[in-house]
Structure 1
Amino acid sequence: MKLKRKVEIAVISDVHLGTYGCHAKQLLTYLNSIQPKKLILNGDIIDIWQFSKRYFPKSHLKVIKKIMNMASDGVEVIYITGNHDDMLRKFSDTTIGNISIVDKIVLELDGKKAWFFHGDVFDASIQNAKWLAKLGGYGYDMLIVFNRLINWVLERMGKEKYSLSKRIKNGVKGALKYIGDFEQVATDLAIENGYDYVICGHIHQPKMLLKENKHGKTMYLNSGDWIENFTALEYQFKRWKVYHYNEDKLSPFFADQDIKEMEMTDLIAAITIFDAKKNT
């Protein structure tokens, strides 16, 4: 049995289970490779906005089952709500066994304060025109599907993969300004409140950056996503790092082979086992 990599905290966000863009098998590979004390799910894990009974593959169910198994095995799982799973906000401050649901959380890490939240609170399009934001979500999902088709062709031609959405984001000044403004607002608020770290998701841009103004400094961290970047944040030995799945050449942990055989009954069984352990 291969040893799992121990980390104090692992942070993932923007998985978007239930959408065509989600890469559940890669995420399973990552989750199978680590042994965290805390697993922080920083929003948009299940995409309730675009949820459809017609599309929720077994690999997506397997991610949910894996997280529940981790909780039943003693991992503290903190689910921070995002905009695509905002229906869960009615259950904020609820704890079941090792799983808690919150809108935001502050943790003390080796004498330093870390502020975790998804980040959609800064997005005016979501706060003021939710229908427009949902429409944009559908468009993004279709763009990802189209991009997969393009990359399928490119691979067979022996050429490198290409990201349409990254090209659009990097080529549109408004998108770059939005990302810059997001980081600036988050870090200014963190400094104002005396937080040493501010940890977000939402904008699908993995980053670790020290930000400073005349009032102080803070470390800005973004966990990225599991749509394009396949990234997470990890805290160990008093240090943060951005984990890149595509750069991890040493991880031999693959998505469980029984994905293809998994049924909804397996997920129900996992919930039952988890509930039984919680009550013992």
Structure 2
Amino acid sequence: MRTAPFSEDLPKSEKTTLNRDEKTSFQPAKMRDQNAQKETTGPSGRSGTYRTIFISDVHLGTRGCQAELLLDFLKHNEADTFYLVGDIIDGWRMKRSWYWPQSHNDVVQKLLRKARKGANIIYVPGNHDEALRQYVGQHFGGVEVKLTDIHQGADGRRYLVIHGDQFDNVVLHAKWLAHVGDWAYGMMLNLNTVISRIRRRIGMPYWSLSAYLKLRVKNAVQFISDYEQAVCREAARHEVDGVICGHIHHAEAKMIDNILYLNDGDWVESCTALVEHQDGQMELIRWHSEDGLRTGQAGAERVSESYDPVSGRSLAAKEVSERV
């Protein structure tokens, strides 16, 4: 896949060496000692305080945005640094029709409140909020805008942080088609909302039609694979250990050619976030469920697999537990 050069040079330094005894794992919540880190107390009992939280593809300004769930997540989780990895506000959709309920405004206010309380907020715009790219280097209400960034984890590993639309050939070379696809995606999300309401009334859990189709259409699966490979090649070019991105609404954590690929997902379909623990361990969390907001049982579910960053092989549950 052809990749586009960045308009901003990224900082480079000597590549971090991964030793054999350094392991990055992604394990279910039940395998972690919840007393090993300071926690906040939320209604679900699954809240936490992290070193860094990464979220992307919120799409505020659209009906598909799961703003209430994101608000619940932000209420019960704290971090020293928050990365907003693009498409937080959907400027494309808002140009066509205005939709901005109170819950969307509350998300913005919640993030600004965290900045006032001392959290570092770094905004890396995507293609849907690309207008903010003209403000790279500026600060607004404690929020710093960057085109890309290099994040150094507590364990010394370095990650390229980028939204990822730079590696989407449709966005790069046929923007009109990207807008058509965005419209079709919006229609699918509207259908998904209807299906979710029906399933909720008959006591069935949340299920995403768009996510289901995405992983079963051959071309979509190939696009995801090509995207992952392109993003990892860019990370290797900058001599970092991993890449943290969004854009494709598909949360994932895996090794690709010695690069740790971390996609933090979205807050339209999967409602996922990537968190860095105080020891540098990275973990994907899915925040659920729709019914939980009414019952006070919304909570975290760890959804990522566990990998050995050296060999790239999947770790068994016993191995992961021993390495926490």
With structure 2 as the length reference, what TM-score do the two structures score?
Answer: 0.72
SS at match of 1:121: helix
Residue identity opposite 2:159 in structure 1: A
Residue identity opposite 2:190 in structure 1: V
Cα 1:253/1:7, change in 2 over 3 Å: farther
Q: Spell out the pairing of 1:174-213 with structure 2 (5 A cutoff).
A: 174-212=219-257
Structure 1 position 130, deviation (Å) = 1.5
| Counterpart Cα distance in 2 of 1:172 and 1:193 | 32
Structure 1 residue runs without a partner (length 5+) = 255-280
Between Structure 1 and Structure 2, how many residues are aligned? Answer: 248
SS at match of 1:132: helix
Could you tell me which residue of structure 1 aligns to residue 287 of structure 2?
245
Cα 1:253/1:41, change in 2 over 3 Å: farther
Could you tell me which residue of structure 2 aligns to residue 102 of structure 1?
146
- Name which of structure 1's ranges 73-82 and 155-164 shifts more when overlaid on structure 2: 155-164
Structure 2 residue runs without a partner (length 5+) = 1-39, 299-324
- Whether the 8 Å contact between 1:30 and 1:253 is mirrored in structure 2 is no
Q: 2:123 aligns with which of 65, 79, 85?
A: 79
Could you tell me which residue of structure 2 aligns to residue 12 of structure 1?
55
SS at match of 2:92: coil
Structure 1 position 126, deviation (Å) = 0.8
Instruction: Determine which structure has the larger helix proportion and give its number.
Output: 1
Structure 1 position 25, deviation (Å) = 0.4
Structure 1 position 155, deviation (Å) = 2.8
Percent of paired sites with the same residue: 35
Could you tell me which residue of structure 1 aligns to residue 80 of structure 2?
37
RMSD: 2.1
Residue identity opposite 1:88 in structure 2: L
Instruction: Determine which structure has the larger strand proportion and give its number.
Output: 1
SS at match of 2:159: strand
SS at match of 2:122: strand
Structure 1 position 193, deviation (Å) = 2.4
Residue identity opposite 2:283 in structure 1: K
With structure 1 as the length reference, what TM-score do the two structures score?
Answer: 0.83
Could you tell me which residue of structure 1 aligns to residue 263 of structure 2?
222
- Name which of structure 1's ranges 166-175 and 69-78 shifts more when overlaid on structure 2: 166-175
- Name which of structure 1's ranges 154-163 and 133-142 shifts more when overlaid on structure 2: 154-163
Residue identity opposite 1:131 in structure 2: W
Could you tell me which residue of structure 1 aligns to residue 103 of structure 2?
59
Could you tell me which residue of structure 1 aligns to residue 302 of structure 2?
none
